[in-house]
Amino acid sequence: MAILDIINTTLARLLSGPIQSLAFLARIPGLDGPIGLPLIGNLWQIRKNAAEKYQQWSRTHGAMYQIQLGYIPIVVVLSNSASTTIGKSPCSDSFKRRRKGAASALNRPSNQTCIPHLDLESKDFVAELLRYGKSGDEIRMDSQDDALFDEITYVEDEISRFRSTTGNLQDYVPLLRLNPFGLTMLSGGLDTVTTLLQWSIVLLSQPLDVQEKAWKDISHFYSDEQPLCDLLGDQKCKYIAALVRECLRYFTVLRLAPPHASIKDVTYEGVYSKGTVYFINASACNRDEAIWSDPEEFCPERWLEVPDAPMFTPGIGYRMCAASMLANRELYLVFIRMMNSLENQKFDDVDAHPLSGDSDPTSLVAMPLKYKARFVPSNSSALEKGFRVVDEPL
């Protein structure tokens, strides 16, 4: 750490004068935060794990502070109260029109039209888990040897890294924009749901009592002869619904919400002028000790006790994910069918912690390390019977 301080001081002296003065002029008056280098600001300090670094800085500078990425001052928000105020700041009319169109296509009535597809795909998901690990036997999935499958997953991972709030330096260092490659890449909703399932499967295989509690609650609605849990209603099994919410909170796969700039002045412990850029650290907000006394613990019961507690994973205000309702429904259906049909047994040791177990902290989406899983059917005959309708046309 001393070496980094020496490098920081040396570069600051070499580049002192007009350049350094411009860097300080760009800072927001009255707001604390770490001092960065001329030209690049704090970029060099957050390249490896931005979300974790932001949380470390909050211990010194508070739950709301500023950094500099290039010459751009950024307000970093890590608390429930601040993020709620800033996250609900006004949006442009153009954004509101686009948001309204997306919301109308993804509201509750529209989601009903997706139920047949969710029903089919969730059954097919459980069928593949059984097929590739029947009765706990290990077998290699054929798709892993498919060139097209490998290319698709590779491109998806690369886009996720590119879309990271710190992965594209051209956003903050204007000189790099002379290279036009990749300046217009856009994508959304690539792999957040599937990544959350990967994290959840890792955790559920650990020696916790979550599976036992889930089976007990599911048994109130479905018998042993109904492993695929034919739909009786919308999320009637409260423990499974709470489990989904806790997985969303604990494994905040999109740790840093996409940055946005305010179109009007924002007042929160001071006035922040129009055009200020904000980073909301959703992972830190989900672990705010002002909300939870034990934020580092995985505890689905917390959502049974405080069902209306804030959740920052899908975002807040106008910028909240328009498909969050559909995603919750999809996750509930996959969880209840997977857990009632198969027992998730521990296969090998893998780090299930959302921070230390992250395979690439620089990526936009936090992904777990590679692992193997074992699934054992709870009622083989009933499960095989239920799968007979999977391939029937809608």
pLDDT at 335: 94
pLDDT at 142: 46
Task: Write the pLDDT tens digit of every residue in 14-53.
Answer: 455 444 444 445 788 888 999 888 888 888 888 888 888 9
**Mean pLDDT over all residues of the chain?**
77
Q: Where are the alpha helices (DSSP H) in 170-209?
A: 192-204
The domain spans of the chain are 114-251+296-312+323-387
pTM for the complete prediction? 0.77
Q: Which of 206, 194, 225 is nearest to 340 (CA)?
A: 225
How far apart are the C-alpha atoms of 225 and 240, rounded to whole Å? 19
Q: Which of 73, 72, 54 is nearest to 62 (CA)?
A: 54
pLDDT at 163: 52
DSSP letter at 67 equals E
Handedness of CA 298, 308, 313, 232 (dihedral sign): positive
pLDDT at 21: 45
pLDDT at 17: 47
pLDDT at 160: 58
pLDDT at 303: 96
Question: Which residues are 75's β-sheet partners?
Answer: 66, 278
How far apart are the C-alpha atoms of 287 and 71, rounded to whole Å? 30
Superfamily of domain 114-251+296-312+323-387: Cytochrome P450 (1.10.630.10)
All residue ranges of the chain with pLDDT < 70 are: 1-25, 81-96, 98-99, 101-106, 133-146, 149-150, 152-190, 231-234, 389-394
pLDDT at 146: 67
